[in-house]
A and B are shown apart, each in its own frame.
Chain A
Amino acid sequence: MTTGGWRVVLWDDPVNTAPTVAFVLHRVMGLPLGEAMGAPLQVERQQTVQIAWSADRFEAEVMAARMLVFGLHAGVAPA
């Protein structure tokens, strides 16, 4: 059952390492440094982590697209 809106998610992948993921989340997505550094550990443990949420699907997709361009395996999912 969905609660509305769209989640921007990051999936674990075999290529990207912690510094790479942290760099993109901080530089491109604007996450605070501590949060960006913590996300790689979280995604490694849980296989997926929510990076952002938006009520607007297009806005969520744009955020995911920016991460994809910078090499992360990102996407969207209904919240």
Chain B
Amino acid sequence: MSRDEQRWAHAGMLARRTFDAYSPEVLNPHDRELTRQAVELMAECLQGGPARRLAAGGRLGPKLGGPERVAAMFPQASNDSQVAAEFLATHGPGMQAQVLNSALHAGAVWDKPGADQVDFDARFVALSHVGRFVHDRPDGKCVPIACRVRRYAVWARDEMAAGWLEPMVTAKLNAQPE
């Protein structure tokens, strides 16, 4: 097996492991709706909105999101705290604006069949952040609804990435000499 084939095999194995680990729960349509509502909430909070409950999470569900989650949206971009602070000051607002645009776009085309590349990128970016946006808490504990959003988002994003790469990987493997 060539080095490239080993890479593809490894990537495929990881994707399969992810699918196996998440598919029983996340194929639930309720998790999909929770995630859609969480994307809407993320867009609201990026525009200054407060934390609130998700309608699909029930009246007794926890409040999610809020300004603290917006502030903690991106991980530290450098091991040097001064460089990281300068990075955030320079690029933070722009990155948040891109995530906001993606969340609004993804919400608008959530049920649209036959997504184009713009729709795809917006969904990918929104799913990349919504799990972390609702999930992390200062005490490190997991809110069940937030865990479900995160699992769905991670699974859906992996499926999208694997599906996007698959034709190119297949073409590359088929192009390799015997």
Contacts and interface: CB of A to CB of B under 8 A. Distances in A.
Interface of A: 13, 15, 17-20, 22-24, 26-27, 33-34, 37-38, 40-41, 58, 61-62, 64-65, 68-71, 73-77
B168 interface: yes
Interface string B85-101: 00100110011001100
> Interface size bucket, B side?
35 or more
Interface in B1-22: 4, 7-8, 10-11, 14-15, 18
Given A20-B158, A40-B11, A70-B125, A61 B165 contact: no
**Which of B80, B121, B127, B158 counts the most chain A CB atoms within 10 A?**
B158
B115 to A, nearest CB: 14
Contacts, number: 104
A29 B116 CA distance: 20
Interface in B126-141: 127-129, 131-132
Interface stretch (B39-47, B61-69, B70-78, B106-114): B70-78
Contacts of A62: 91
Nearest to B127: A71
B124 interface: yes
Nearest to A20: B161
Given A22-B165, A65-B95, A71-B129, A17 B8 contact: no
Given A15-B132, A68-B95, A71-B124, 19 more contacts: A17-B14, A19-B15, A19-B161, A20-B157, A22-B165, A23-B161, A26-B168, A33-B168, A38-B7, A62-B91, A65-B94, A68-B77, A69-B98, A69-B102, A71-B129, A71-B157, A73-B75, A75-B76, A77-B78
